[in-house]
């Protein structure tokens, strides 16, 4: 199972001062040296953290693979087609949100996604749609022609109490099975941390977890190298059991 390290929040710290440190490009190097299998960044329309410059330099420096999260809007799709990351994950974006709040409404957006997904795919980019573990959204994702879904693990991460967590995990497991049955490949992410990652990492057939906030938060205290290594160890141990 691969770990994609989302380094948006390195840029969040830099943008707090609007200067040039800390540099997400340097963070990507350290994350890869510690075992990250991919680097994930979200170029938001409002450019609140990652900047165009970051994406372009990361394209040149990332040695594993670059996963660009983007909204289905012409400006950012055009940048993706020019930069050509290995992967693109289409996410919903709302101006007022603190982070990506929910999954895409693929059914409602199918007219546009039905054009964007093939354009990106024809550009040599593997496309993933960030969706809630909801059967209707997964079926719509398959209809869109996307190769992957990234299952939104937010409801699982926020579940309080044993039974709510078990129920959210069951929904994720069923979503994996449905997606695989429809020929989709499956990633997952959002809200995963050092305490809650194991049961999700143990779900067979999830190929990649994308984790940002928890790793960068831990990195502030223990260093990025240790933060990435500890997360990878937890994921691998979960798979071995
Ligand atoms: N996957 C996607 C599609 C996301 O939008 C995000 C948040 O940027 C993540 C994973 C990572 O979420 P977190 O920062 O909570 O680990």
Q: Is the pLDDT of residue 101 over 80?
A: no
Name the nearest CA neighbour of 23 among 43, 7, 46.
7
**What SS3 class is residue 97?**
coil
Instruction: Give which of 126, 124, 117, 104 is closest to 145, Cα–Cα.
Output: 117
The stretches of the chain forming alpha helices (DSSP H) are 8-17, 24-33, 52-61, 74-83, 110-122, 135-144, 154-158, 162-181, 197-201, 213-222, 224-240
Domain ranges of the chain: 2-240
Confidence of residue 8 (pLDDT cuts 50, 70, 90): very high
pLDDT digits 0-9 by tens, 32-49: 999 999 999 999 999 999
Best residue for ligand 1 mutational test, from 27, 100, 234 (most atoms within 8 Å of Cβ)? 100
Task: Give the pLDDT confidence score for residue 241 in this predicted structure.
Answer: 61
Count of other CB atoms within 10 angstroms of residue 114: 14
Q: Is 162 a catalytic residue?
A: no
Separation of alpha carbons 202 and 199, rounded Å:
5
75 Cβ contact partners less than 8 Å away, ≥ 6 residues apart: 45
Ligand 1 pocket test target in 3, 6, 27 with most atoms within 8 Å of CB = 6
Distance separating the N- and C-terminal Cα atoms of the chain: 14
pLDDT, tens digit (0-9, with 9 covering 90-100), for 47-68: 999 999 999 999 999 999 999 9
Four-way CATH pick for 2-240: 3.40.1190.20, 3.90.1150.10, 3.30.70.100, 3.20.20.70: 3.20.20.70
Read off the pTM: 0.96
């Amino acid at each position: 199972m691969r770990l994609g390290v989302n380094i948006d929040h390195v840029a969040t710290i830099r943008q707090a001062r609007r200067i040039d440190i800390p540099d997400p490009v340097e963070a990507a190097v350290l994350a890869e040296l510690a075992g990250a299998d991919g680097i994930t960044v979200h170029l938001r329309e409002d450019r609140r953290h990652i900047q165009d410059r970051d994406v372009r330099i990361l394209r040149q420096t990332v040695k594993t693979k670059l996963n660009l999260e983007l909204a289905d809007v012409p400006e950012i799709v055009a940048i993706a087609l020019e930069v050509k990351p290995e992967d693109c994950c289409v996410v919903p974006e709302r101006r007022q949100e603190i982070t990506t709040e929910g999954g895409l409404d693929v059914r409602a957006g199918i007219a546009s996604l039905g054009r964007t997904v093939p354009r990106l795919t024809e550009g040599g980019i593997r496309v993933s749609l960030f969706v809630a573990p909801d059967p209707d959204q997964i079926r719509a994702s398959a209809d869109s022609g996307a190769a992957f879904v990234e299952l939104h693990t937010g409801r699982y991460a926020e579940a309080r109490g044993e039974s709510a967590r078990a129920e959210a995990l069951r929904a994720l497991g069923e979503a994996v099975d449905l997606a695989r049955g429809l020929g989709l490949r499956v990633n997952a992410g959002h809200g995963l941390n050092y305490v809650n990652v194991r049961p999700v990492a143990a779900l067979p057939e999830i190929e990649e977890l994308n984790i940002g906030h928890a790793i960068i938060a831990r990195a502030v205290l223990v260093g990025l190298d240790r933060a990435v290594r500890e997360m990878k160890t937890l994921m691998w141990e979960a798979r071995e059991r």
